[in-house]
Amino acid sequence: MAWANFIPELSMLTAVAVFLAMACLPPHSRRNYWAALVLSGLSVVLSVTHLSSQGVLFNNAYQVDLYSQLFKALLSIGFFLVVFLCRELKGVALHRHSECYLLLSISTLAMMVLVSSVHLLAIYVALELSGYSLYVLVFLRREERWGLNAGFKYFMVGICASAIMLFGLALIYGATGELVLKDLAQLPSPMMTHAMVVAGVLMTLGGFFFKLAVFPFHFWAPDAYEGAPNQVAAFISTASKVAAVAVLVRVVAAFQGMEAILPKGLIIVAIVSMTVGNLAAIGQKDFKRLMAFSSIAHAGYLLLGILCMSFQGYAGSMFYVAAVLVMKLTCFMVMIKVAQDGRNLQIKELAGLHQRSPLLALALMMALFGLAGIPPTIGFAGKLLIFKAAIDKGYLLLVVIAMINVVISLYYYLQVLKAAYLDSAPEDQPVLTLSFPDRMLAILLVGVIVAVGFYPAPLLELVYAAARGLP
Amino acid sequence: MMMDVHYATFPYLTSLLLCCGVGLLAILLTPAGRTGVIKWISAVFSGLTLVIAIYLYVAYDQSAGGFQFAERVAWIPELGISYFNAADGFGLPMLLLTGIVFFTAVLTMWELEYRVKEFFALIFLLVSGVFGLFMSMDLFFIFVWFDVSLFPMYLLIAIWGSTRKEYGAMKLTLYLLAGSALILPAIIYLVVSASLQTFDLPTLMQADLLTPHQQRLAFLMLYIGFGILAGVFPFHTWSPVGHVAAPTAVSMIHAGVLMKIGAFGVLRVGIFLCPQGWHYWAQLMAVLATCGIIYGALVGLRQTDLKYVIGYSSVSHMGIVGLGLSTLTLDGVNGAVFQMFAHGIMTALFFSSVGHIYDKTHTKAIADLGGLSRTMPRAATFFIIAALTGIGVPCLASFWGELVVFLSCVRVYPVRGALAIGGLVISALFMLRVVQKTCYGPPMERFADLPDVSLAMTAPRMILVSVIVLFGLVPGWLFDMINTATVELFK
């Protein structure tokens, strides 16, 4: 049954169709929200229950395996959580709400296709499809001066990255005549080290680097995060990163023959990304800009796992991106709940959070410690896997540099924590009351951050099994 | 080197951690307004940990030696990580120390009124990390517990502290985390180099798994990484600042127990796994330790703040631990571990009496205090006993640690040993000077009506004093225990 392999995508496609129909109806915030919640919840259930699907579709261009299904599950979870946070979608005008859900689901669908694509052109098409929905999503911001500025910058960097990637694909195809990853993986070794192929691969990776906000394609991130509606920024910093890591790992794994060359380039990119991200984050006053720079730094850690070019490294990056998904979403949840009118949250506005809502303050603390990689959190388990893979390959110095970066990052995370726990709230700030589902979500996220951090074995076995299946 | 591992019939060590975990949960579930209940919960559960720690100390079979009360569960099989706890002659004194300081610190904070629930919750979290580290036999868990015991410090100091608390908290956290930035790569490097796919400490201790070169590199990283926490010169600058800023109980736990974690980490991970690295870097360790002893004493001499004096005396006294470890002799290591224990109890007493003085007078400036022996006789008495212990007066615990370390040091490094003893004389000088200026002389009139330590609140301090005297009179109880582990180390 070929269709059975396609169920997560089909569920997302259904969501797209429903939202398209709803976009034609008069705006109704509540109805849109509940429809989105039910549909995204359904897709989580369907992707998680179809983890073990196997198959190759569409003339070897589309592979369904544990690796792709795991990422589809992560994507649908990310989508579900972002939709969950859309209850007060104040950053987007009411009549655009259904469009917002439509574009989010199209983007998720495209990413699901992306993680299964094993043909470079299919990858390119899926990447563009998800990218274009995101450009429009950033434009949806109610205050146009934010949205236009951010969306435009995002779009310009995006199309430049696409152009470079397309050129890289042309080089690869010109040199080898192949576009299917499986065939490319079997190229003879002189071909692998051919200048044209190496240049082509590096340029192709540029397209993924843009998604992941890796240096030198990171310039869009702070502005796009700042200008986008909060929920969209949450989506860009989580689901979009998951998809980028998925495709990056798949492509790098296919070029295993370049083990002597590829890491050299990636090492520089990784070090610069983490250092630039962390140093730039230090002075930030806007919480979303801080998150953007920390995303750039995290992209550097993720690359550290990928550049090991071993299945342990790939597994480490997969684990870590799942961790980033949970931790970043927790941060964004706190931000969205504190800035209920959809404004941009300044860090100093977090003052007195421990009085206004102890639960949110706790969630923020665990998420920040997770992002800083302090045990026992899920972020530490991810970093441990990546660092172990890197030292296995002899990159001891690189790991020390990454750890120094972790210490730098701790400084600005502690600044946020200081605002939330130490500073007292201005007199007129009301107590934040969370609805029952919101409280449950906060407890669930904190629980996942701590529990998986303390006992990572089940998730670890899953990503190891998935990474072993790569070519 | 291969140590015997005796498995336990009952998970005593885990129950020690469970006491902290259950206590933490109970505190979290109590409404924040019920401060009395929270304090009683804290006292009961911290008391329980002390009882278990004492039981373990007594029940340890010294004739058999090795690792006892071991318990083990596979944790992350893919990476060779297991939940593996055991106690030996090094770990048990530290567990006992932690139990004593934890219990007395909780009692000392009985009068706390501000954000009580969060305070005790964070203390429990911190101490569970400390207990975990002292009993863990798995490198992964050692690192996890290490960080668990560090990160509550930021909030504890920044919320409940005094003098420049935010600066002190940030400096302390960043310094200590910079240490873990070296420890984590070093630990992974050791595991990868041994190529046994295990984080298990006793397995990794087998000889010739690691080349001398690997041992040297890893030992240096571990020594600096853990050494920052142990206040090794020149990485000590966080320590006086942090101690001064921290609230009383946190200073007690921090100087009493957390700094020991650093020295213990050097011993447990560095020396156990990289003996050749230890031999290679011993000269450097001795030099830094001597510098620390003299520098701490000299700087302490010039301080005007009471807590700074104790902070620098800690740097000086932890230098003695480092000096003992650097001698590469059986006596030196014995003395170092003894000194860790004695110094822990002593600084806890120090900070708890200074804490009382500061709470009542709202000043820590030595010049503003005077004649405390008349206005607050009990507080002054405890302070003087702590100061005498610090100086190393015979019949008090520190004496034996310092004596043994210096005897073995003079034998191995005569010049550095002589210099270090000189440093000790200076530290005696400044301790006596502080005692004279604060406790004697004309009493300050504005402090005349301030309450002394209440009878109930003398209890935690009396416990500390009696431990100091007990091990000062019968040092053999501690030395015999430590010796069981040291003998195996030198086999």
**pLDDT tens digits along A404-426:** 999 899 889 988 888 888 877 77
The CA–CA distances, whole Å, from A271 to B149, B186, B344 equal: 29, 20, 41
Per-residue pLDDT for A392 more than 60? yes
CA atoms of A297 and A213, how far apart (whole Å): 9
Kindly provide the b/e burial profile for residues B306-317, where b requires at least 16 CB atoms within 10 angstroms of the residue's own CB: bbbbbbbbbbbb
Contact check, Cβ <8 Å, B78/A460: yes
Strand partners, A47: none
Predicted confidence at residue A332, as pLDDT, reads 92
Q: Is A457 in contact with B173 (Cβ distance < 8 A)?
A: no
How far A347 CA sits from the closest chain B CA (Å)? 17
- Would you tell me how many other CB atoms lie within 10 Å of the CB of residue A268? 11
pLDDT at B132 over 90: yes
Strands A62-64 and B5-7 come out as: unpaired
User: DSSP letter string over B245-256?
Assistant: HS-HHHHHHIII
Nearest CA in chain B to A408: B174
Whether B2 shows a pLDDT value over 70: the answer reads no
Question: Which residues does chain B have within 8 Å of residue A387's beta carbon, measured at their own beta carbons?
Answer: 184-185, 188
CA nearest A410 in B: which residue?
B174
Closest CA to A218 of A175, A280, A264, A168: A280
| Alpha carbon of B171: minimum distance to chain A alpha carbons (Å) | 10
Q: Residue B32 — very low, low, confident or very high, per pLDDT cuts 50/70/90? A: confident
A366: nearest CA in chain B?
Answer: B151
- Condensed to tens digits (0 to 9), the pLDDT of residues B148-199 reads 888 888 888 888 887 788 888 888 888 888 888 899 999 999 988 888 888 8
Q: Say if the Cβ atoms of A384 and B140 lie within 8 Å.
A: yes
Shortest distance, CA B292 to any CA of chain A (angstroms): 25
- For B342, the enclosing helix (H) or strand (E) is helix B330-361
Q: How far is B40 from chain A (nearest CA, A)?
A: 23
Residue B4 above 80 pLDDT? no
pLDDT digits (tens, 9 = 90+) for B440-460: 878 777 777 777 778 778 888
Helix axes A396-421, A358-372, angle to 10 degrees: 160
- Which DSSP letter does residue B356 get? H
Candidates A403, A414, A461; nearest CB to B181: A403
Under an 8 A CB cutoff, do B182 and A399 touch? no
**Confidence band, pLDDT 50/70/90 cuts, at residue B226:** very high
Nearest CA in chain A to B214: A396
H, E, C per residue of chain A: CCHHHHHHHHHHHHHHHHHHHHHCCCCCHHHHHHHHHHHHHHHHHHHHHCCCCCEEECCCCEEECHHHHHHHHHHHHHHHHHHHHHHHCCCECHHHHHHHHHHHHHHHHHHHHHHHECEHHHHHHHHHHHHHHHHHHHHCECCHHHHHHHHHHHHHHHHHHHHHHHHHHHHHHHHHCCCEHHHHHCCCHHHHCCHHHHHHHHHHHHHHHHHHCCCCCCCHHHHHHHHCCHHHHHHHHCHHHHHHHHHHHHHHHHCHHHCCCHHHHHHHHHHHHHHHHHHHHHCCCEHHHHHHHHHHHHHHHHHHHHCCCCHHHHHHHHHHHHHHHHHHHHHHHHHHHHCCCCCCCEHHHHCCHHHHCHHHHHHHHHHHHHHHCCCCCHHHHHHHHHHHHHHHCCCHHHHHHHHHHHHHHHHHHHHHHHHHHCCCCCCCCCCCCCCHHHHHHHHHHHHHHHHHHHCCHHHHHHHHHHHHCCC
Nearest CA in chain A to B189: A391
Question: pLDDT digits over B45-54, tens only?
Answer: 999 999 999 9
- CA–chain centroid gap for B135, Å, is 14
Contact B174 A407 (CB under 8 A): yes
Inter-chain contact A387–B155, Cβ cutoff 8 Å? Answer: no
- Residues B314, B344: Cα–Cα separation, whole Å: 9
Question: Hey, what are B287's tokens?
Answer: 């030099």
> To the nearest whole angstrom, how far is the Cα of A375 from the nearest Cα of chain B?
5
Relative to beta strand B5-7, strand B67-76 is parallel
Collect all residues with Cβ–Cβ distance below 8 Å to A287 and sequence separation of at least 6: A331, A335, A344, A345, A346, A347, A350, A416
**Structure confidence at residue B3 (pLDDT):** 66
- Report residue A185 as tokens: 């993986």
Q: Which of A404, A422, A446, A461 to mutate to test the interface with B (most CBs of B within 10 A)?
A: A422
How confident is the model over B262-291, as pLDDT tens digits?
999 999 999 989 988 999 999 999 999 999
**ipTM of predicted assembly, 2 dp:** 0.86
User: Using the beta-carbon criterion (under 8 Å), do A456 and B76 form an inter-chain contact?
Assistant: yes
pLDDT, one tens digit per residue, over A433-460 is 888 888 889 999 999 999 998 888 889 8
For the cut 90, the answer to whether the pLDDT of residue A50 exceeds it is: no
DSSP 8-state code for residue B443: P
Q: Which residues of chain A are within 8 Å of residue B147 when distances are taken between CB atoms?
A: 374-375, 380
Question: B148 to chain A: nearest residue by CA?
Answer: A375
Neighboring chain A residues of B151 at a CB cutoff of 8 Å: 369, 374
Nearest-CB residue to A422 (from B159, B173, B192): B159
pLDDT (average), residues B338-366: 87
Element (H, E) at B363: none
> What 8-state DSSP symbol labels residue B129?
H
The pTM for the full model equals 0.90
d(CA A155, CA A227): 13
Contact list in A for residue B182 (CB cut-off 8 A) is: 400, 403
Residue type, position A448, single letter: V
Prior bond of A376 cis (ω within 30°): yes
The average confidence (pLDDT) of chain A is: 87
DSSP single-letter state for residue B109: G
Look up residue A376 and give its two tokens.
């026992």
Find the closest chain B residue to A396 by CA distance: B185
Q: State the pLDDT at residue A4.
A: 75
The tokens of A115 are what?
């993680």
Q: A388 and B79: CB-CB below 8 Å?
A: yes
Which DSSP symbol is given to B207? T
Give dist(CA A12, CA B38) in Å, integer.
50
CA distance B254 to A295: 34
Structure tokens at B158: 């920044």
Tell me the shortest Cα–Cα distance from A45 to chain B, in angstroms.
Answer: 27
The answer to whether A112 touches A77, Cβ cutoff 8 Å, is no
- Give me the sign of the Cα torsion angle A271, A274, A275, A277: positive
- Give the tens place of pLDDT for each residue, A167-203: 999 998 988 888 888 888 888 878 878 888 888 888 8
Convert B119-147 to b/e letters by CB count within 10 Å (16 or more is b). Answer: bbbbbbbbbbbbbbbbbbbbbbbbbbbbb
Residue A357 distance to chain B (closest CA, Å) = 13
Chain A residues in contact with B155 (beta carbon < 8 A): 417, 421-422
- Calculate how close chain B gets to A34, using CA atoms only, in Å: 33
| Interval A116-153: pLDDT, tens | 888 888 999 999 999 899 888 888 887 777 778 888 88
CB B441 within 8 A of CB B370: yes
d(CA B475, CA B349): 19
Which residues of A have a CB under 8 Å from any CB of B?
A: 354, 369, 374-376, 380, 384-385, 387-388, 391-392, 396, 399-400, 403-404, 406-407, 410-411, 414, 417-418, 421-422, 455-457, 460-461, 464
Distance from CA of A353 to the nearest CA of B (A): 14
Q: What percent of chain B has pLDDT over 90?
A: 31
Write out pLDDT tens, residues B398-433.
Answer: 888 889 999 999 888 888 888 888 888 888 888 888
Q: Which of B310, B291, B278 is nearest to B383 (CA)?
A: B310
What DSSP letter does each residue of B159-191 carry, written as one string? HH--SSHHHHHHHHHHHHHHHHHHHHHHHHHHH
CB–CB contact B174 A456 (8 Å):
no
Mean pLDDT (whole number) for A95-110: 87
Place of tokens 């369904």: A64
Please report how many Cα atoms fall inside a 13 Å half-sphere around the Cα of residue A318, on the Cβ side: 33
**Is B124 within 8 Å of B49 (Cβ atoms)?**
no
A452 CA: distance to closest CA in chain B (Å): 11
Helix axes B91-108, B455-473, angle to 10 degrees: 160
3-class secondary-structure state, position B317: helix
Helix (H, G, I), strand (E, B) or coil at B365: strand
The pLDDT value given to residue B22? 93
Q: CA nearest B177 in A: which residue?
A: A407
Compare CB distances from B181 to A354, A404, A461 and report the shortest one's residue: A404
Using an 8 Å CB-CB cutoff, list residues of chain B that contact chain A: 75-79, 118, 140, 143-144, 147-148, 151, 154-155, 158-159, 166, 170, 173-174, 177-178, 180-182, 184-185, 188-189, 191-192
**Cross-chain CB nearest to B173 (options A388, A403, A414):** A414
Q: Closest Cα partner for A405 from A324, A302, A331, A298?
A: A298
- Which stretch of DSSP H or E encloses residue B199? none
Q: Is the pLDDT of residue B341 over 90?
A: yes
Which of B76, B155, B191 lies at the smallest CB-CB distance from A457?
B76
Residues of chain A above pLDDT 70, percent: 99
Q: Are B75 and A455 an interchain contact pair (Cβ–Cβ within 8 Å)? A: yes
- Match 């650093």 to its residue by tokens: B262
* Cβ–Cβ pairs < 8 A, chains A and B: 80
Chain A residue with the nearest C-alpha to that of B172: A411
Q: Do B185 and A399 touch (CB under 8 A)?
A: yes
Output the 3-class SS for B14-64.
Answer: HHHHHHHHHHHHHHHHCCCCCHHHHHHHHHHHHHHHHHHHHHHHHHCCCCC
Task: Compute the average pLDDT of residues A381-401.
Answer: 90
| Sheet with B5-7, side-by-side order of all strands | B5-7, B67-76, B81-87
Q: Look at residue B457 in the predicted model and tell me its pLDDT.
A: 82
Q: Is B29 exposed, middle or buried (0-12, 13-18, 19+ CB in 10 A)?
A: exposed
- The 3-class SS string of A34-99 reads HHHHHHHHHHHHHHHHCCCCCEEECCCCEEECHHHHHHHHHHHHHHHHHHHHHHHCCCECHHHHHH
